[in-house]
């Protein structure tokens, strides 16, 4: 059995290894949350093991093919969308996605033909769009044991103790760091996190500059670095730790080691004996935000949430998240005590909720109503905003003068209603 993936109440897993005496013919299986089989779909393979499938926008992407390749299947029916057979044959990898391509970092197929590197498969056609060579690839077997990490136009991978950054737009290697790096790369917030000689190390995602490291009190770190909004979860054979990404210090640990995953605010740790241990580890900061004068739904509206030292503008945690259809938000927090919470949306003024109590389960009920009209984002509704509104007047998406920030009521058109909102709140300013 290979690692599963979960999406919208369904579990997807690749079963069977393919060609070989006694091996099961491989297939992709989809189960409901109750365990019933929704579909099974066969695919080609040869003595392979897999990482968890990658799921996005109605498709399941997996490693497969008798001589290497990548498949895409429909998430509902299991029907094959396409197969790309132009990839080198390695196992223990899974596709990584951006909006256009599915990526695979793979080794060379033959020793005299240097074809190792990052492959980009078009998500619509299943054809290889481009390939970035890794000329320094070190061959150590036919298993990759990783998926490329994609962020901000870069792909990150590990090979031969090197950390490699591929510049996707310019089709080249951006930088490499030759250290003692192993395992899966994780990336978030402009930093790349890896296990380096048994420690947690962070590198600048753009330049590759070393940022900081954390060493466990005993033993060596191994496995995947799990990132939350403000923590890195790592572990040794006997312990699991959470490291604050701001202070770079440990803020909790549990006396259990093994393979780790996080789902719905719960840390799951499984060890080689089959024991699974669950911890509630991620308290939530949550609330409901009313976006003033918004005509449509709040769903998908981005907001910035800051946790501040009370009575000051000193930010200790900052989150970028989105609202649901009811205007609700929820982010992870590790804070305990009393703090101020500042909330800012794109063209709405900032609101600071004072003296919010944070307990072991987090902080709930952080509700606020935001005032509309701050088109330029300077936290004041002023003549500068009026100038931008005037320039965008009469526009809609696709026109040269369109400015989504000036569409104050969110109806897809900058018109008299938006001027009315500006007039209503002209001269007002948000909390500092």
Residue-wise pLDDT for 24-38, tens only, equals: 678 899 999 888 999
HSE-up (13 A, CA, CB side) for residue 255? 0
Over residues 296-318, the mean pLDDT reads 94
Q: Is the pLDDT of residue 154 over 60?
A: yes
Q: Is the pLDDT of residue 272 over 90?
A: no
Burial class of residue 429, CB neighbours in 10 A (0-12, 13-18, 19+): middle
Q: Is the pLDDT of residue 392 over 90?
A: yes
DSSP 374: -
**pLDDT value of residue 89:** 93
Contacts within 8 Å (CB) and 24+ apart, 298-304 = 298/323, 298/324, 298/325, 298/326, 298/327, 299/323, 299/324, 299/325, 301/345, 301/346, 302/345, 302/346, 303/329, 303/343, 303/344, 303/345, 304/343, 304/344, 304/345
Angstrom distance (rounded) from CA 96 to CA 85? 17
Q: Domain 148-281's class? A: mainly beta
Burial track 124-144 (b if 16+ CB lie within 10 A, e otherwise): eebebeebbbbeebeeeeeeb
Pull the structure tokens for residue 374. Answer: 């701050």
**pLDDT value of residue 230:** 75
Phi and psi, residue 421, nearest 5°: -65, -45
Architecture of domain 1-114: Beta Barrel (2.40)
Angstrom distance (rounded) from CA 285 to CA 15? 39
Using pLDDT thresholds of 50, 70 and 90, give the confidence band for residue 262.
confident
167 CB-near residues (< 8 Å, 6+ apart): 153, 154, 173, 174
Pull the structure tokens for residue 89. Answer: 């044959």
> What CATH number belongs to 380-432?
1.10.1330.10
152 CB-near residues (< 8 Å, 6+ apart): 190, 205, 206
Is pLDDT larger for residue 279 or for residue 386?
386
Over residues 306-332, the mean pLDDT reads 92
Q: Are 63 and 70 in contact (CB under 8 A)?
A: yes
**pLDDT value of residue 111:** 66
**pLDDT value of residue 8:** 86
The model carries a pTM of 0.69
In what side-by-side order are the strands of the sheet with 191-196?
Answer: 181-188, 191-196, 199-204, 210-214
pLDDT, tens digit, for every residue of 179-228? Answer: 999 999 999 889 999 999 999 999 999 999 999 999 999 999 999 999 98
**pLDDT value of residue 244:** 84
Domain boundaries of the chain, sorted by first residue: 1-114, 148-281, 283-370, 380-432
Using pLDDT thresholds of 50, 70 and 90, give the confidence band for residue 21.
very low
Tally Cβ neighbours within 10 Å of residue 258: 18
Q: Are 310 and 335 in contact (CB under 8 A)?
A: no
HSE-up (13 A, CA, CB side) for residue 317? 21
Q: Which residues pair with 54 in a beta bridge?
A: 61
Q: Taking the CA atoms of 294, 300, 304 and 310 in sequence, report the sign of the dihedral they define.
A: positive
The whole-chain average pLDDT of the chain stands at 92
In order, the DSSP letters of 70-101 are: EEEEETTT--EEEEE--S---BS---EE-SSE
Residues in the chain: 432
Q: Domain 283-370's class? A: mainly beta
Using pLDDT thresholds of 50, 70 and 90, give the confidence band for residue 151.
very high
The secondary structure element, H or E, covering residue 111 is none
Residue with tokens 């939350």: 228
Among 106-110, 179-183, 280-284, the least confident range: 280-284
pLDDT, tens digit, for every residue of 228-256? Answer: 877 899 999 999 999 988 788 887 888 99
194 CB-near residues (< 8 Å, 6+ apart): 158, 163, 181, 182, 183, 185, 186, 200, 201, 203, 225
Over residues 137-160, the mean pLDDT reads 95
Using pLDDT thresholds of 50, 70 and 90, give the confidence band for residue 23.
low
Over residues 135-147, the mean pLDDT reads 94
Over residues 328-334, the mean pLDDT reads 87
Tally Cβ neighbours within 10 Å of residue 310: 12
Among residues 48, 140, 58, 127, the alpha carbon closest in space to that of 87 is found at: 127
**pLDDT value of residue 18:** 60
Same fold, 1-114 and 283-370: no
């Amino acid at each position: 059995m290979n690692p599963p993936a979960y999406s919208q109440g369904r579990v997807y897993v690749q079963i069977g290894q393919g060609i070989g005496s006694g091996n099961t013919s491989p297939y992709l299986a989809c189960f409901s949350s109750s365990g019933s089989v929704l579909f099974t779909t066969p695919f080609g393979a040869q003595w392979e093991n897999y990482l968890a499938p990658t799921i996005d926008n109605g498709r399941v992407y997996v490693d497969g093919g008798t001589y290497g390749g990548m498949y895409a299947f429909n998430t509902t029916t299991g029907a094959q969308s396409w197969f790309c057979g132009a990839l080198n044959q390695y196992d223990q990898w899974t596709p990584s996605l951006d909006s256009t391509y599915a990526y695979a970092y793979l080794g060379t197929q033959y020793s005299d033909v240097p074809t190792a590197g990052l492959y980009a498969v078009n998500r619509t056609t299943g054809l290889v769009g481009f390939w970035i060579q890794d000329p320094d690839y070190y061959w150590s077997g036919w298993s990759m044991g990783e998926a490329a990490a994609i962020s901000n136009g870069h792909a990150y991978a590990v090979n031969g103790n090197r950390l490699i950054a591929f510049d996707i737009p310019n089709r080249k290697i951006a930088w490499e760091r030759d250290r003692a790096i192993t395992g899966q790369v994780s990336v978030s917030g402009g930093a790349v996190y890896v296990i380096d000689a048994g420690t947690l190390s962070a590198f600048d995602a753009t330049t590759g500059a070393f940022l900081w490291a954390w060493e466990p009190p005993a033993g060596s770190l191994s496995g995947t670095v799990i990132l939350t909004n403000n923590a890195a979860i790592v572990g040794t054979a006997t312990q699991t730790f959470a490291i604050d990404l701001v202070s770079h210090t440990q803020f909790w640990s549990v006396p259990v080691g093994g393979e780790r995953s996080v789902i719905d605010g719960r840390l799951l740790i499984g060890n080689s004996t089959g024991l699974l241990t669950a911890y509630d580890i991620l308290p939530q900061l949550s609330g409901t935000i009313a976006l003033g004068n918004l005509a449509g739904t709040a769903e998908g509206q981005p907001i910035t949430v800051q946790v501040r030292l009370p009575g000051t503008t000193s930010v200790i945690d900052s989150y970028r998240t989105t609202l649901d259809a009811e205007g609700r938000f929820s982010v992870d927090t590790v804070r305990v005590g009393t703090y101020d919470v500042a909330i800012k949306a794109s063209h709405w003024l900032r609101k600071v909720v004072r003296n919010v109590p944070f307990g072991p389960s987090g902080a709930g009920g952080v509700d606020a109503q935001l005032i509309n009209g701050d088109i330029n984002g300077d936290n004041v509704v002023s003549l500068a905003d009026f100038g931008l509104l005037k320039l965008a007047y009469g526009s809609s998406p696709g026109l040269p003068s369109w400015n989504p920030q000036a569409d104050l009521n969110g109806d897809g058109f900058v018109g008299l209603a938006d001027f009315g909102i500006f007039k209503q709140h002209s001269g007002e300013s948000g909390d500092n």
